[in-house]
Amino acid sequence: LYKIAYIATSWSFWGKQSKATAITAAQRRGEDVETTKKWSAGQNKQHLVTKNTAKLDRETEELHHDRVTLEVGKVIQQGRQDKGLTQKDLATKINEKPQVIADYECGRAIPNNQVMGKIERAIGLKLRGRDIGLPLEAKPKKK
C-alpha cells in the first residue's frame, strides 16, 4: 500500500513532486494508492469539539450535539452582572474570546468542561451538575 499524506493543498511525496505526479508514479508501479487529508493541521485552534462529528454525519437520523441550556446561560449572565463584569471583561478574565461568553449565554455553545470550569471560578457559581446556580464552595487551601 502506497500512502500519500497531504495537508490542505500542499502534498508531500518523498521529495518535491506534485500531487498528480506522485499518484501516477505509484499507479505505474502497480501499487495501491491511498490519499488522506489532514484536517486543521498546522492551525492553532483552542477547544476543538471532541465529539465524533463523522459518526453524526454517517447517521441517517436527525442528530445534533448537545448545547448549553438556557438555564446555564442565564446563570452565567446573572453571575457576571452581579460581579459588575461585561462579557468582554469576563472573557479577558478567563482568557477566552468575548464571542465564547456570548455563545454560552445564548445557549449556542457546545459545552466544554475546561471553559465551564473557568467561568464557574470567575463568577463563583456552579454551572454543572444538579446544583446549577448555587455558590461555588471554596476548597480548603493545602499547606
Domains annotated for the chain, with CATH where assigned, are 70-130 (1.10.260.40)
The reported pLDDT for the residue numbered 75 is: 94
Q: How far is CA 6 from the centre of its chain?
A: 23
> Angle, to 10 degrees, between the axis of helix 98-106 and the axis of helix 70-82?
130
Distance CA 100, CA 15 (A): 42
Residues 39-87: pLDDT tens digits?
666 666 666 665 666 666 666 566 677 888 999 999 999 999 999 999 9
Cβ-Cβ contacts under 8 Å for 121 (sequence gap 6 or more): 94, 136
Question: Given phi > 0 = left and psi -120 to 50 = alpha, else beta, which region is 99?
Answer: alpha
Phi, psi for residue 34 in degrees, rounded to 5: -130, 125
Sheet of 10-12, strands arranged across = 10-12, 2-7, 33-38
Q: For residue 82, with 0-12 CB atoms within 10 Å meaning exposed, 13-18 middle and 19 or more buried, which class applies?
A: exposed
The reported pLDDT for the residue numbered 122 is: 94
Query: Can you give the pTM of this predicted structure?
Result: 0.55
Residue type, 21: T
The reported pLDDT for the residue numbered 9 is: 45
Distance CA 128, CA 117 (A): 9
